[in-house]
Amino acid sequence: MKLAILSQDSSLYSTRRLEEAAEGQGHDVKVINYLRCYMNITSHKPAVFYNGQPLERFDAVIPRIAASKTFYGTAVVRQFEVMGVFSANESQAISRSRDKLRCLQILARDGIGLPVTGFAHATQDIQGLLESVGGAPVVIKLLEGTQGIGVVLAETHQAAKSVIEAFRQLDANILVQEFIKEAAGIDLRCFVVGGKVVASMKRQGAEGDFRSNLHRGGKADNVKLTPEERTTAIRAAKSMGLKVAGVDLLRSNHGPVVMEVNSSPGLEGIEKASGVDVAGKIIEFVAKSATTGSTKDRIQY
């Protein structure tokens, strides 16, 4: 199988592991910087060009699209789809998961557990917004934030009001969510490939930080999921239309709740914590799916 990994940097751990796994399984693999691609959009002979030359025909692509490059990255993925190339995650599913509000609305529609969430832009009714999620303490997030940046825990009503007012001055869209205190700064990353949870890990935030992101100094360990947690992760990935996803859960008093569904989850933390060859699982899935041609985004929103 001829496989392309769409990544800005071939030296990144996740990109290297996917390349190694593909070569180990006997595939012809190439890493392509999607930002250096340009496209010929035509009905009869659509093409993707790279370094001034049309790219060879690939059987499948694995998108590793950075959050800040979603628009152009998904345009490149979509062009491959137009050309009939299988994509591990389709362009629409990537775009859907990157829109935090849209993601939460779809999950809510499908009855998947979520923290109570409010959304606002320039509301003057801060009191009403806070009451709608049960009052302080609350977690306040910039809609465009990533890796824990733009996320604030407001422990009192006055602190929450001050943060919302400050974010409002930035002309920003914000999410306000109930604070799941019983999670104690721990979340679960469930790695879903082809409708199955292939690996999981528990992430503990750095001392004094409620955020568990590994990029923010958090620590990761192996964890055994409950059947409900496993089912929730699978349903969340399916709701987004993602075949490869990192689903982040919190353990709340009313069951697992989904915090985020990531379309380009990193491999380093999950492979080291779980001991699972996640890259190999992804390549196996892509090889099987590209052969059968079993891909079609059917999500209605």
Query: What CATH number is given to the structural domain containing 197?
Result: 3.30.470.20
Residue 55 CA to residue 33 CA, distance in Å, equals: 12
* Shared-domain flag, residues 231 and 130: no
Is residue 300 in a domain? no
Per-residue model confidence (pLDDT) at position 245: 98
Per-residue model confidence (pLDDT) at position 195: 96
Domain extent for 168 = 117-179
Residue 270 CA to residue 178 CA, distance in Å, equals: 27
Low-confidence ranges of the chain (pLDDT < 70): 122-123, 144-149, 205-217, 292-301
Per-residue model confidence (pLDDT) at position 298: 63
* Shared-domain flag, residues 103 and 221: yes
Please, which residues have CB within 8 angstroms of residue 64's CB and are 6 or more apart in sequence?
Answer: 5, 6, 7, 8, 12, 14, 15, 18, 264
* Shared-domain flag, residues 211 and 131: no
Per-residue model confidence (pLDDT) at position 122: 64
Is residue 57 in a domain? yes
Per-residue model confidence (pLDDT) at position 224: 94
195 three-class SS? coil
Per-residue model confidence (pLDDT) at position 287: 95
* Shared-domain flag, residues 284 and 268: yes
> For the whole model, what pTM was predicted?
0.87
List, as one string, the DSSP characters of 220-278: EEE-PPPHHHHHHHHHHHHHHT-SEEEEEEEEETTEEEEEEEESS--SHHHHHHH---H
Is residue 231 in a domain? yes
* Shared-domain flag, residues 40 and 170: no
* Shared-domain flag, residues 200 and 257: yes
pLDDT for 262-282, tens place per residue?
999 999 999 999 999 999 999
Cβ atoms of 135 and 149 within 8 Å: the answer is no
Per-residue model confidence (pLDDT) at position 265: 96
Is residue 241 in a domain? yes
* Shared-domain flag, residues 156 and 197: no
Is residue 210 in a domain? yes
* Shared-domain flag, residues 173 and 209: no
Domain stop point among 179, 208, 231:
179
Choose among 154, 8, 1: nearest CA to 67: 8
What's CA 179's distance to the chain center, in Å? Answer: 21
Number of domains making up the chain:
3
